[in-house]
């Protein structure tokens, strides 16, 4: 295995000893249970100083779950907040699997965080997750903006498939007559679809997320359709990447999707956007949710917190 961090190597060794099956080898419900259990074992302890509630269902879309996280102490003068989409390849994961990360963001950024439980494949294939992501953004935008129409203190973010959904919300917001977010945090997003890359070849096996897993997720989500030229699936395919939000893209070195992150960071920068691309050496896909056992996850959290604090200016900075 290539250049793994020792803490990560111990996790992978434990998975091999326990004969943990790859997600792509399991029935979908079993894969969901495996994913949920693994995150609970590896993540931080939940921050108890955050008020949590589920928003009432939207009568027009009662399947859509949105959970609100309010910090015990708001940052002085801070407005807006963060809309977060969980990872899981569009097939696994939930509001529950991103609960600890959302508590962390709320407590340490001092702003409200809203977590989205979108519909999952294969029961609900593309574009169900995209539709739900835009619907959630539309619903919480007035709350994040304090009732105003400006979105200049609103960020979107997510990890893995959730990072892709956050990028897609930023791309599609103007087309949906919605103000775009001011910032986006994309943690190892998938951005190039099925296109080949060096990282997909190099880290295809043995680094937690396998290329077979990626293909399985995409096959379930797209029902085998070729969507690589649809920016709702592969954001790199967007014809116009100008005027995108200020972006933080976090990548893991030992990840089949490492080049997805790099390609999108380069494309955004080439289109004139402000981009911060951070690659964490020796890390694997999923490390952002391993803060209980992987210190580098805490470093990644700190990078994201600094970025969000800088990206969402306070009223004193003159932003309406």
Q: Cite the active site residues.
A: 160, 255, 285
Burial class (CB in 10 A: 0-12, 13-18, 19+), 289: buried
Which residue's structure tokens are 């694997």? 284
- Helix runs in the chain, H state only: 6-17, 28-42, 99-109, 128-144, 161-172, 198-202, 211-222, 258-270, 295-311
Cα separation, 311 vs 276, in Å, equals 12
CB 172 within 8 A of CB 248: no
Q: Are strands 183-187 and 154-159 parallel, antiparallel or unpaired?
A: parallel
- Cα distance between residue 267 and residue 165, in whole Å: 17
Asked whether the bond before 122 is cis by omega within 30 degrees of 0, the reply is: yes
Q: Is the separation of the CB atoms in 5 and 281 below 8 Å?
A: yes
Helix, strand or coil, per DSSP, at residue 293: coil
Could you give the 3-state DSSP secondary structure of residue 167?
A: helix
Burial of 240 (0-12, 13-18, 19+ CB in 10 A): exposed
């Amino acid at each position: 295995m290539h250049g793994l961090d020792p803490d990560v190597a111990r996790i992978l060794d434990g998975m091999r000893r326990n004969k943990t099956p790859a997600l792509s080898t399991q029935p979908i419900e079993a894969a969901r249970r495996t994913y949920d259990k693994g995150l609970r074992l590896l993540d931080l302890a939940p921050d108890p100083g955050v008020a949590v509630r589920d928003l009432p269902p939207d009568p027009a879309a009662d399947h859509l779950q949105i959970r609100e996280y309010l910090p015990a102490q708001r940052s002085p003068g801070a407005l807006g907040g963060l809309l977060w989409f969980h990872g899981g390849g569009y097939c696994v994961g939930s509001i529950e699997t991103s609960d600890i990360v959302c508590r962390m963001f709320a407590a340490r950024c001092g702003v409200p965080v809203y977590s989205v439980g979108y519909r999952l494949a294969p029961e609900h294939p593309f574009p169900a997750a995209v539709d739900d992501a835009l619907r959630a953004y539309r619903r919480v935008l007035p709350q994040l903006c304090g009732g105003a129409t400006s979105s200049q203190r609103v960020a979107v973010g997510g990890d893995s498939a959730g990072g892709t959904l956050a990028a897609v919300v930023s791309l599609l917001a103007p087309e949906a007559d919605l103000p775009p977010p001011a910032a986006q945090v994309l943690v190892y997003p998938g951005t190039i679809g099925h296109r080949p890359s060096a990282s997909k070849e190099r880290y295809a096996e043995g680094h937690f997320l396998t290329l077979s897993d990626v293909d399985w997720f995409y096959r379930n989500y797209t029902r085998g359709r070729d969507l690589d030229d649809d920016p709702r699936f592969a954001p790199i395919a967007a014809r116009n990447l100008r005027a995108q939000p200020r972006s933080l893209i976090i990548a893991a070195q030992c990840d089949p999707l490492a080049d997805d992150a790099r390609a999108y960071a380069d494309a955004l920068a080439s289109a004139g956007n402000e981009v911060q691309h951070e690659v964490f050496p020796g890390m694997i896909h999923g490390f952002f949710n391993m803060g209980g056992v992987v210190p580098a996850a805490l470093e990644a959290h700190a990078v994201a917190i600094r970025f969000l604090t800088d990206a969402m200016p306070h009223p004193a900075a003159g932003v309406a």
